[in-house]
Structure 1
Amino acid sequence: MASLYLLIPIAIIFVCLAVALFIWAVKTDQFDDLDRQGHSILFDDSDEAKPASVEHKDKKL
């Protein structure tokens, strides 16, 4: 029972920290562009960076 007197305030502090971090993330626009990271996994940007001569060699193979 004595441990509850220690664990409950620690849990309250952790909840307050989590809420404060969430509010900070919202205020600093961390959640504005959620789709960009998902699209970066699906689409390869290196195809756009290839020179034209390399693209022609790939098509012949």
Structure 2
Amino acid sequence: MTILYLLIPLSLILLGLAVWAFFWAVKNDQFDDLEGPAHRILFDEDENDLSPEQRRQRQQAKRSETAARETPDDQEPRP
């Protein structure tokens, strides 16, 4: 029975610390964007890990893709 005199105040202190930690986290925007980092990792390009030659090749491929999209394939030739 005397252990309750120790455990009840200890549990109240622990509860108070948990509530304080929760409000601190909310105040400091720890719960602001929960899904962003999970999605960001999927679209990581790792541009910094590429060599200069690989960067040039990637830029050329992007340019050719853009040019292919802009070229009208369904236009009839002029007479």
Report the TM-score, using the length of structure 1 for normalisation: 0.69
Once the two structures are superposed, residues 1-55 of structure 1 have per-residue CA deviations (whole angstroms, 9 ceiling, x without a partner) of 11111011000000000000100111111111111222144x151x35142437x
Find out whether 1:53 has 2:57 as its counterpart: yes
Which sections of structure 2, spanning at least 5 residues, go unmatched?
A: 62-79
Which sections of structure 1, spanning at least 5 residues, go unmatched?
A: 57-61
Larger Rg, first or second structure (1 or 2): 2
Work out the number of aligned pairs and report it.
54
More helix by share: 1
DSSP-derived class of the 2:18 partner: helix
Structure 1 vs Structure 2: percent identity of aligned residues?
47
Root mean square deviation, CA, Å: 2.3
Higher relative contact order (CA 8 A, sep 6+): 1
